[in-house]
Amino acid sequence: MKHFHVASVMLALSLTSTMSLAQSTTDYQDQAKLHDIAKAVSPERIEADIRTLVGFGTRHTLSETESDTQGIGAARRWIKNEFEQISQACGGCLEVYFQSKTISGETRIPDATEVVSVIAVQRGSHDPNRYVLMSGDIDSRVSDVMNSTSISPGANDNASGVAGTLEAARVLSKYKFNGSIVYAALAGEEQGLFGGKILAEQAQKDGWRIKAVLNNDMIGNIEGINGVINNTTARIFAEGTRQTETPEEARVRRFTGGEVDSPSRNLARYIDLMADRYIPNLDTMVIYRLDRFGRGGHHRPFNDLGYPGVRIMETNENYNRQHQDIRSENGIDYGDTIEGVNFEYAAKLTALNAVSLAGMAWAPAPPAKVEINGAVKPSTTLNWQALDPKQNPQLKGYKIYWRYTDAPQWQFSRFVGNVNSYTLDNIVIDNYFFGVASVSQDGAESPVVFPGAAGAFGE
Q: Which residues of the shown chain bind Zn ion in the complex (CB under 5 A)?
A: 157
The smaller minimum CB distance to Zn ion, of residues 157 and 272, is found at: 157
The answer to whether the CB of 360 falls within 8 A of the CB of 457 is no
Gap between the Cα atoms of 249 and 234, Å rounded: 33
Burial of 443 per CB tally in 10 Å (0-12, 13-18, 19+)? middle
What distances in angstroms separate CA 419 from CA 271, 386, 395, 397, 403, one per listed residue?
26, 8, 11, 7, 21
The smaller minimum CB distance to Zn ion, of residues 298 and 348, is found at: 298
Phi, psi of 456 (to 5 degrees): -65, 135
Smallest gap from Cβ 207 to Zn ion, in A, equals 31
Distance from the Cα of residue 251 to its chain's centroid: 29
* Type of residue numbered 237: F
Smallest gap from Cβ 298 to Zn ion, in A, equals 10
Gap between the Cα atoms of 66 and 162, Å rounded: 21
The smaller minimum CB distance to Zn ion, of residues 157 and 239, is found at: 157
Smallest gap from Cβ 201 to Zn ion, in A, equals 22
Phi, psi of 148 (to 5 degrees): -105, 10
Residues 6+ apart with CB under 8 A from 3: none
The smaller minimum CB distance to Zn ion, of residues 190 and 445, is found at: 190
Smallest gap from Cβ 152 to Zn ion, in A, equals 10
The smaller minimum CB distance to Zn ion, of residues 137 and 239, is found at: 137
Smallest gap from Cβ 262 to Zn ion, in A, equals 25
Smallest gap from Cβ 321 to Zn ion, in A, equals 11
Burial of 329 per CB tally in 10 Å (0-12, 13-18, 19+)? exposed
Strand ordering across the sheet containing 412-417: 412-417, 395-404, 432-440
- Measure CA of the first residue to CA of the last residue in the chain; give whole Å: 30
The smaller minimum CB distance to Zn ion, of residues 145 and 305, is found at: 145
CA quadruple 223, 227, 229, 234: dihedral positive or negative?
negative
Smallest gap from Cβ 302 to Zn ion, in A, equals 18
Residues 6+ apart with CB under 8 A from 21: 412, 414, 424, 425, 426, 427
The smaller minimum CB distance to Zn ion, of residues 259 and 339, is found at: 339
Taking alpha carbons only, the member of 78, 88, 87 closest to residue 48 is 78
The smaller minimum CB distance to Zn ion, of residues 49 and 157, is found at: 157
The smaller minimum CB distance to Zn ion, of residues 192 and 367, is found at: 192
The answer to whether the CB of 311 falls within 8 A of the CB of 303 is no
At residue 287, the 3 state secondary structure works out as strand
Smallest gap from Cβ 300 to Zn ion, in A, equals 13
At residue 229, the 3 state secondary structure works out as strand
Gap between the Cα atoms of 85 and 143, Å rounded: 35
Smallest gap from Cβ 157 to Zn ion, in A, equals 4
Query: Closest-CB residue for Zn ion?
Result: 157
Smallest gap from Cβ 195 to Zn ion, in A, equals 13
Neighbours of 224 (CB within 10 A): 15
The smaller minimum CB distance to Zn ion, of residues 157 and 314, is found at: 157
Smallest gap from Cβ 258 to Zn ion, in A, equals 32
The smaller minimum CB distance to Zn ion, of residues 157 and 167, is found at: 157
